[in-house]
Amino acid sequence: MVDEKILFYGITAYPGVIFGKVRKVRNSADHNLIQRSDLQADEIPGEIELFDSSLNRTEKELTSIIAENEQVAGSFELREILSSQKDMVRDPLLYERVIERIKIHGENAPLAVETTIRNIYEEFMGLGDSFFQDRADHILDIGKRISKNLMQKNLSLNEPLKNLPENVILVARDLTPSEMINLDKSKVLGIATDFGGKTGHMAIIARNYGIPTIVGLRNIYSNVEDEEYILLDADRGFLKKNPHIEEFKNFGYRSNLSEHKEWNSKTILKTLDGERIYLKANLENEEGCEEILEKNAEGVGLFRSEVLFLQIKDHTPTEEEQFVIYRRILKKMNEKPVVIRVFDIGADKFELGAHEDNPFLGNRGIRYLIRHPNLFKEQLRALLRASIYGNLKILIPMITTVKEIERTKELLQECRLELLDEGYDVKDKIPLGIMIETPSCAIGLENYLHGIDFLSIGTNDLLQYLMAVGRNNYSISDLYNPFHIVFLQTLENIAIIAKKKKIPISICGEVATDPDMIGLLIAMGFRELSVSAPFLHEIHERISHTKLKDMKSLLKKVKALSLLEKYFEIEALIREQDRN
C-alpha cells in the first residue's frame, strides 16, 4: 500500500508526464498590513486617499504587464484576463463597497479591501453560474495587487520566476493570471497546485502553453520542498514524491498536445476514414471574432450573452446596447452561424440583496427570464433586430419543462410583431435551440423537441447535476468524473435521439476540449463540437489523425471499464491509443 504522504491525487488540467525538481511559488500575501475597524472621523479622508492611490498603481501595473506581453506568443488569453481585471479595478461594485466600509464601518483601507474582496468572491462563487465562478479567482488576484499597493510595495516575492536558472516543476497553492503571465515558461516543465478545477483559469492557461498540469491536489504545497524531485503524472492525475528510478527513468518532458505543427486551417475536417466533423468556437467577447475567423472555425457554437454584464457594469444592458453588440458580432462572422445563448444567470446578479440557499438549483437561466419578461423581451427584441445582419441562432439555457420553451416562443412572437409594427426588419426564420444541461431534459429529451431546430449540450452543468457534485468542490472533485458510466450513457442516448429525430446537436462544454473525451464523443455520434478558440488547432489535429472505427472500439472498452469504475485504467487505455 502506498503511503498517502507520498502519493497525491488531483485533477488533470493538461496531460503529460514529467520527472523534475520542485520550485515552490511563495504566497505573496503580506501579513504586515495593519487592519483596524476603529477609524476616527478625521482619519477617513486619508484612508480614502490611500485606497485611491493604490488603485492608480494597480491600474498602471496591469497596463504595463499587458503592454509588455503584447507580442508574446500564446499570451492572448492571459492578456484578455488581465484586461478584464483592469476594468474591474474601477468597477463600482468594488470601489463603492470599499468606500462604504471605510466611511460607515470605520475600517481602514487594508481591512476594507480584504473584506470587500472576500465578499465579492463569495458572491461570484454562489451565483450558480459557471461563467462567474470561473472568474472569481480574478477578484482574489485584484485584491492581492491592491493590498500590496496599499503598502506601496511591488509584487516582487516571486520575481525570480521570470528568469529561472533551470528546468523546474512549479508547486503552488494557486497561481493567479498575473503571476502566470510573468513566468519563464521555457523552464517550466510542469505545474501542480492545491486549488483549481478542470475549467478554471489555471487549466485554461496551462493548455494554452502546453504545460502538463495537475490542479486540486489540496495539500501538495505544504508537503514538498524546493529542490526535491517529484514525478508529475498528469496523464493519470497524480503526483508522487520520492519515485523509484524504474518509475521515472523513461520520463523527460512529454505532453500529448504540445507539439504545434504547421496546419492548413482551410482544410475540411474529417477523420482518417472520411467522417465529416464540424468544429466551431465558443466566443467570449466580440473581439474574439477575428481569431475565430483566422482559424477558420465553422461558426460560433456558443456566445454567452451574460458576458454583457461584465462589459456594461453600472446598469442592465439596454435593448439598444445589446443590439449594437449582437449586430457587430453577426456582421464580423460573415454569415457563418452564430449561436447566442440568452442570459444564463441567476437572481443573485440582478436583484440586490436576493439570496438563495442553493443557487445551482434556484432561479436562474430561463427560469429567471420567464419570471422577468421585460428583461427577457429587451434581449429578444435586440436579437431579432440584429438577425438581419447574419446567421443567428438563439439558444435557451437551463430547460426543465416544456412550458419554458412554449413561453419563450410566445415572447419571441410578441417581440416579432411589435418590431414589425414599429417598422423594423426581422428575419423570417431564426433557428431556436435548447441547451441540455439538466437531468430532466436529458432523460426526457423526446418530450422537449417539438418545434426545436437544434440542440446543444452543456456538459459542465449536466455532469454536476447528474453526479450531484459541484464542479468547484475540491474536496469531492473525484466524483466530477466524465468517465462515469451514467454520464457516458446519457451522452450516448442523447446522440441517438438527436439522430433519430434528425435534429442537429453540438457539444459546447469543457468536455469538447478534453483530449481524452474527443474520440469518445465522435464514437457516440456527435459530429459538431464547439471549443475555445485557442484549442481549435489542437482539436483539429487530433480528430484528423484518428479513425472512426478505432474510436468506436475505444468507446466500447471504456464503457466496460467504467462499469467497473476503473478510471485509471481508462486513462491509461486512452494514452495507449494515442501512442498508437
pLDDT higher than 70, residue 313: no
Give me the mean pLDDT over the 307-333 stretch. 89
Q: Cell match 471574432: residue?
A: 289
195-225 burial code (b ≥16 CB/10 A, e <16): bbbbbbbbbbbbbbbbbbbbbbbbebbebbe
Q: Give the integer Cα–Cα distance in Å for 280 and 282.
A: 7
pLDDT higher than 50, residue 19: yes
Give me the mean pLDDT over the 209-230 stretch. 86
DSSP 3-state assignment of 433?
A: strand
Q: What is the grid cell recorded at 533? A: 478558440
On whether the CB atoms of residues 526 and 512 are closer than 8 A, the answer is no
Q: What is the grid cell recorded at 183? A: 513566468
On whether the CB atoms of residues 255 and 579 are closer than 8 A, the answer is no
pLDDT per position as a tens digit, 174-186: 877 667 766 777 8
Please classify residue 186 by burial: count the beta carbons closer than 10 Å to its beta carbon, then call 0-12 exposed, 13-18 middle and 19+ buried: exposed
Q: Give the integer Cα–Cα distance in Å for 386 and 331.
A: 9
pLDDT higher than 90, residue 507: yes
Give me the mean pLDDT over the 441-457 stretch. 97
pLDDT higher than 70, residue 576: yes
pLDDT per position as a tens digit, 371-394: 999 999 999 999 999 999 999 999
pLDDT per position as a tens digit, 220-266: 988 898 889 899 988 778 898 888 776 665 554 444 444 444 456 66
Q: SS3 letters for 153-169?
A: CCCCCCHHHHCCCCCEE
On whether the CB atoms of residues 319 and 356 are closer than 8 A, the answer is no
In order of 17, 90, 444, 518, 549, the CA distances from 260 in angstroms are 18, 39, 42, 18, 26
pLDDT attached to residue 142: 84
On whether the CB atoms of residues 268 and 540 are closer than 8 A, the answer is no
How many helical (H) and strand (E) elements, i.e. helices and strands, does the chain have? 23, 16
* Domains in the chain with CATH codes: 7-22+169-248 (3.50.30.10), 41-150 (1.10.274.10), 266-277+434-580 (3.20.20.60), 285-430 (3.20.20.60)
Average pLDDT, the chain: 83
pLDDT attached to residue 551: 95
CB within 8 Å of 49: residues ≥ 6 apart = none
pLDDT attached to residue 491: 97
On whether the CB atoms of residues 162 and 184 are closer than 8 A, the answer is yes
- What is the percentage of the chain residues whose pLDDT exceeds 90? 44
Sheet holding 229-233, edge to edge: 7-9, 238-241, 229-233, 17-24, 168-172, 188-193, 213-215, 11-14
Q: Give the integer Cα–Cα distance in Å for 188 and 167.
A: 6
